[in-house]
Amino acid sequence: MTAPILLIDGRSGSGKSELATAIIAGWPEAQLLRLDDLYPGWDGLSAGSQHVHDEVLAREAPRWRRWHWLASRPAEWNALDPERPLVIEGSGALSRSNRAFADHAIWVELDDETRKARALARDGELYAPHWDRWAAQEEEFIRRESPKTLADVVVDGRDVASAASVWLHDVVWRGEGEAARVGE
């Protein structure tokens, strides 16, 4: 990849997806890759993180393979344009090996009670039976990789819209009010 790369990580329900959506809205030339689309099932956080490294970040021709959740099997491959900025969002995005390829990294922080309430409100009964096992994978990933310490900035998950505006202003537009872009 030759264009800028942003990794957004945090625990389930913290506001990662909302932050990524807000950043993409202000940076329309950027591509968005959501790890939810490629985790290989409910036990796939580490495999998803490794997939980002091997297939997206460490390749001249970046690509990712969608996971077919209903069929519980891999689906089609999707190409990414290495000339366009890329935002990668999801638990496990911000590993040490992935950070080595990224220009920017954000950790989204939110208390456990609010995160769980948000996640279950969003995904309901589909997620509820898997909450504890997914949380255990997040805890293991955090213990092993220390993603919060790899981040350029830690964002409060209660106000990701403001955080997105600040990040876009400071990094993408460099405060110029023009279309100056990262990497130019």
63 φ, ψ to 5°?
A: -155, 165
Radius of gyration, CA atoms only, the chain: 16
- Classify residue 181: in a domain, yes or no: no
Assigned domain for 178 exists: no
pLDDT category at 126 given cuts 50, 70, 90 is: confident
The pLDDT value recorded for residue 1 is 64
- Asked if the structure places residue 177 within a domain, the reply is no
Which residues make Cβ contacts (< 8 Å) with residue 184, sequence separation at least 6? none
Tell me the residue range of the domain where 24 lies: 5-172
Q: Quick one: average pLDDT of 142-160?
A: 96
63-119 residue pLDDT tens: 999 999 999 999 999 999 999 999 999 999 999 999 999 999 999 999 999 998 988
- Rounded to whole angstroms, the Cα distance separating 12 from 133 reads 12
Domain count, the chain: 1
Q: Which amino acid is at 31?
A: Q
Q: Does a structural domain hold residue 73?
A: yes
CATH number (domain holding residue 112):
3.40.50.300
Interval 5-59: pLDDT, tens: 999 999 999 999 999 999 999 999 999 999 999 999 999 999 999 999 999 998 8
What is the distance between the alpha carbons of residues 91 and 104, in angstroms, rounded to a whole number?
16
162 part of a folded domain: yes
Beta strands 73-79 and 63-68, pairing class: antiparallel
Instruction: Answer positive or negative: Cα dihedral of 119, 123, 129, 134.
Output: negative
In a domain, 53, yes or no: yes
Is 22 within the bounds of a domain? yes
> Of 42, 18, 46, 43, which is closest to residue 32 (Cα–Cα)?
18
Does residue 41 lie in a domain region? Answer: yes
